[in-house]
């Protein structure tokens, strides 16, 4: 009988502390080491300074009347205040809700209502959007739990700080919820993933062990903080290792990222594949000295093997790693190691992280499969979310009675314990690192008065990995254009969910039982658009 596809990462002592305590411990251990550099705000903090400022912001949260267990949302791009609020909420026992800056009125209203946010932190506008107007539109209609709106960089932020009061510090237990992150769910509506202090601190520790990160490292993280990539692989890794976290710009900017690596002598660089590609092809790439780099993390989307090779060579990231996971697993499940041979790092998504169990099961019978056979990847351990916020049915659909998280992703385990990613069993589209659940876009398209029915698929894209395409059936007698449908979407759903392509059809491919055959739609689009080469591109 062949060995079964089960692996457990190395045993390491788990940290039994909350995020605030982890910050205090690092500040005591390396007080004068640089902790945070925010290039676009010209801000710098040592660990001692960051710890002190965190307490000041936590007092401000208490002054708003926020008590342990209350929810506060941050709807902003990368900035100093984002990190301060992440740590301060933990110190005050407040649950931080990450809100994607790309959300527009339809999505924002859903999150504000579902998560019961009492205080929302945001900027009035940036080059991408007028957030004040979007918030106003989202608040029309029935009342929301939102009581406080704090504008970052304005008087209301300063007033919050000056109105701070005493609070009971570190009331949160390690297994209390620290963070809610919204991700696409099985019903089409975003699901609030409940992540605990224990989840986040220990996933940060496990990643830092794989990276061999120390207080001497300087992590350049152009990835968004509202996503696990920034708020865990970035912020939590820095927190537990004592490394400096460098934020080069509010939104990703390849030139600002290259400048930050050069001027700040970064030793690690993060990004989804499209970010690394944008940096490599930038016309000023050769101007920068990137020799300080040694490692980094490429994740968030399937990683083209040739991109990984080029980053390793031209950007001097000889110890670049690939990580795989999802929000529900805090996020990283498997990861390559810095000393793995390049061929292993570019052809797999690594092995199980410390204290992490991984197995491959048959998608229907849920029996563990022999090594080498493709099935659904499942994980168990400290990293598994507490559940979906107020949604026991959706939680039960992915968490089985034995504690295994069923990822919905297809993979195979090799004899050496490394895993090959084979695709998604779920319908999820990953566009440039952003997860998109087609049902959510389909539900929104159905609100268009001319649309009778619509189905959304992902098709291969050389730059983004995948992009969104919709098949639309109009109501009898109606006519519409692609531009008209896109214009209807813009401003109401996130830009990355707006279909890039639309095909108007009279019918959809179906089985005899009237189930939509999306795989046939995808095959047709790949064939007719000449995307065979892109679809077959090797990824790790």
Range of the domain at 528: 429-535
> Structurally, how many domains does the chain consist of?
2
Do 181 and 71 meet the contact criterion of CB atoms below 8 Å apart? no
| Final residue in a domain of this structure, among 173, 193, 227 | 173
* DSSP letters spanning 191-246: EEEEEEHHHHHHHHHHHHHHHT--TT-EEE--S-TTSHIIIIIIHHHHHHH--EEE
Closest Cα to residue 539, out of 354, 360, 411? 411
Q: Which of 1-5, 8-12, 97-101, 234-238 is least confident?
A: 1-5
157, 173, 189 - which closes a domain: 173
Q: Is residue 516 part of a domain?
A: yes
Residue 156 resides in a domain: yes
pLDDT at 423 over 80: no
Most confidently predicted of 106-110, 242-246, 487-491 = 242-246
Sign of the Cα pseudo-torsion (242, 247, 253, 259, in order): negative
CATH code assigned at 438: 3.30.300.30
Let me know if residue 123 belongs to a domain: yes
Residue 132: give its domain's CATH number: 3.40.50.980
Average pLDDT, the chain: 93
- Six-digit token string for 255: 């030139």
Q: Is the pLDDT of residue 187 over 50?
A: no
Q: Is residue 148 part of a domain?
A: yes
By CB neighbour count within 10 A (0-12 exposed, 13-18 middle, 19+ buried), where does 532 fall? Answer: exposed
> What are 382-404's pLDDT values in tens digits?
999 999 999 999 999 999 999 99
Indicate whether 74 belongs to any domain: yes
Instruction: Report which of 194, 81, 99, 79 is spatially closest to residue 146, judged by C-alpha positions.
Output: 99
Q: Residue 152 domain-assigned? A: yes
Residue 261 near residue 268, CB atoms below 8 Å: no
Q: What is the pLDDT of residue 399?
A: 98
Return the percentage of the chain with pLDDT > 90, whole number: 78
pLDDT 10s digits, 113-169: 999 999 999 999 998 899 999 999 999 876 899 999 999 999 999 999 999 999 999
Domain boundary among the residues 173, 190, 208 is at 173
Q: Has residue 401 been placed in a domain?
A: no
Q: Would you say residue 301 lies in a domain?
A: no
């Amino acid at each position: 009988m062949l060995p079964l596809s089960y692996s457990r990462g190395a045993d390491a002592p788990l940290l039994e502390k909350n995020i605030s305590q982890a910050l205090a411990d690092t500040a005591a251990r390396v007080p004068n080491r640089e902790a945070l550099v925010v290039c676009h705000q010209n801000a710098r903090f040592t660990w001692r300074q960051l710890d002190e400022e965190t307490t000041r912001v936590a007092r401000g949260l208490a002054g708003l009347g926020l008590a342990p267990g209350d929810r506060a949302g941050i709807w902003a791009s990368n900035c100093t205040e984002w990190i301060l609020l992440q740590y301060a909420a933990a110190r005050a026992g407040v649950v931080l809700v990450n809100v994607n800056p790309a959300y527009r009125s339809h999505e924002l209203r859903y999150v504000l209502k579902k998560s019961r946010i009492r205080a929302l932190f945001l900027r009035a506008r940036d080059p991408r959007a007028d957030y004040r107007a979007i918030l106003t539109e989202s608040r029309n209609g029935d009342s929301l739990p939102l009581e406080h709106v704090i504008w970052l960089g304005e008087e209301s932020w300063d007033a919050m700080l000056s109105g701070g009061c005493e609070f009971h510090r570190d009331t949160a237990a390690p297994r209390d919820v620290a963070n809610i992150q919204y991700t696409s769910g099985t019903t089409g509506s975003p699901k609030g993933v409940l992540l605990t202090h224990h989840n986040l601190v220990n996933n940060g520790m496990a990643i830092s062990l794989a990276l061999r990160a120390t207080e001497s490292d300087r992590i350049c993280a152009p990835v968004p903080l509202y996503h696990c990539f920034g708020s865990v692989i970035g912020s939590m890794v820095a927190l537990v290792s004592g490394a400096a976290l460098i934020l080069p710009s509010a939104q990703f900017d390849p030139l600002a990222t290259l400048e930050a690596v050069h001027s700040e002598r970064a030793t690690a660089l993060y990004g989804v594949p499209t970010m690394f590609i944008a940096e490599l092809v930038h016309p000023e790439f050769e101007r920068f000295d990137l020799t300080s780099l040694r490692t980094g993390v490429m994740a968030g989307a399937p990683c083209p093997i040739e991109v990984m090779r080029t980053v390793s060579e031209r950007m001097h990231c000889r110890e670049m790693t690939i990580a795989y996971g999802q929000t529900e697993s805090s996020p990283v499940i498997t990861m390559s190691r810095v000393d793995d041979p390049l061929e292993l790092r570019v052809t797999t998504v690594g092995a199980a992280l410390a204290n992490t169990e991984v197995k491959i099961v048959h998608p229907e019978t849920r029996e563990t499969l022999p090594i080498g056979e493709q099935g659904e990847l499942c994980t168990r351990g400290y990293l598994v979310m507490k559940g979906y916020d107020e949604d026991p049915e959706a939680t039960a659909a992915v968490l089985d009675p034995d504690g295994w998280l069923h990822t919905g992703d297809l993979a195979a385990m090799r004899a050496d314990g490394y895993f090959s990613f084979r695709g998604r069993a779920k319908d999820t589209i990953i566009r440039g690192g952003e997860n998109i659940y087609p049902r959510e876009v389909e539900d929104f398209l159905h609100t268009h008065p001319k649309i009778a029915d619509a189905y959304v698929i992902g098709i291969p894209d050389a730059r983004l990995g995948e992009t969104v395409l919709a098949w639309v059936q109009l109501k009898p007698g109606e006519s519409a254009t692609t531009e008209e449908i896109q214009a209807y979407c813009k401003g109401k759903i996130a830009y990355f969910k707006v279909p890039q392509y639309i095909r108007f059809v009279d019918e959809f491919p179906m089985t005899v039982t009237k189930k939509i055959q999306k795989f046939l739609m995808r095959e047709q689009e790949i064939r007719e658009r000449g995307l065979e080469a892109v679809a077959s591109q090797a990824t790790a």
